[in-house]
């Protein structure tokens, strides 16, 4: 009986935790959105990219073209985040 009790004690938290719905991972996405809105509204409204659907390659080309114009206002790392974000929400 003691053994069963111990197993129960061990399983209880596992069961409890598996019942709690895990919230969708939103942190990364909303950070990407904020970054996109900040960087891509420097020269024109964000409606400019948001009115388009492009493949991942096309977004890469466009973002890199914008990055070249923006100089050091958009870093390599930021460009990657924005490319992934746009491909996800405005891919084709
Ligand atoms: C340094 C200023 C500048 C920044 C920053 C900038 N853009 Fe632009 N963008 C422009 C200019 C100028 C044009 C119009 C000329 C052109 O299409 O190349 C344009 C046009 C566009 C177009 C329309 C191009 C087409 O092929 O129809 C898209 C889409 C776009 N930008 C997306 C972005 C995104 C995404 C970002 C953020 C990564 C961004 N822009 C940041 C200057 C900028």
pLDDT digits over 28-60, tens only?
Answer: 789 999 999 999 999 999 999 999 999 999 999
Pocket test for ligand 1, best of 42, 47, 48, 61 (most atoms within 8 A of CB): 48
Residue 39 Cβ inside 6 Å of ligand 1? The answer reads yes
Q: Which atom of ligand 1 is nearest to the CA of 40?
A: 37
Q: Which atom of ligand 1 is nearest to the CA of 54?
A: 29
Compute the distance between CA of residue 86 and CA of residue 19 in angstroms, rounded to an integer: 34
Residue 42 Cβ inside 6 Å of ligand 1? The answer reads yes
Q: What is the pLDDT of residue 25?
A: 58
Q: Which of 44, 92, 35 is nearest to 65 (CA)?
A: 44
Q: Which of 32, 31, 44, 43 is nearest to 82 (CA)?
A: 32
Q: What is the mean pLDDT of residues 3-15?
A: 73
Which is more confidently placed, 21 or 68?
Answer: 68
User: How would residue 20 be classed by pLDDT, with cut points 50, 70 and 90?
Assistant: confident
User: How would residue 72 be classed by pLDDT, with cut points 50, 70 and 90?
Assistant: very high
Q: Which two tokens stand for residue 19?
A: 């019942």
């Amino acid at each position: 009986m003691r053994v069963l009790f111990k197993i129960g004690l061990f399983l209880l938290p596992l069961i409890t935790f598996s019942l709690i719905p895990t919230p969708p991972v939103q942190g990364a996405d909303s950070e990407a959105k904020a970054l996109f809105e900040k960087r891509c509204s420097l020269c024109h409204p964000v409606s400019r990219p948001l009115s388009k659907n492009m493949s991942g390659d096309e977004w890469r080309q466009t973002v890199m073209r914008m990055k070249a114009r923006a100089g050091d206002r958009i870093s390599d790392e930021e460009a990657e985040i924005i490319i992934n974000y746009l491909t996800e929400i405005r891919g084709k």
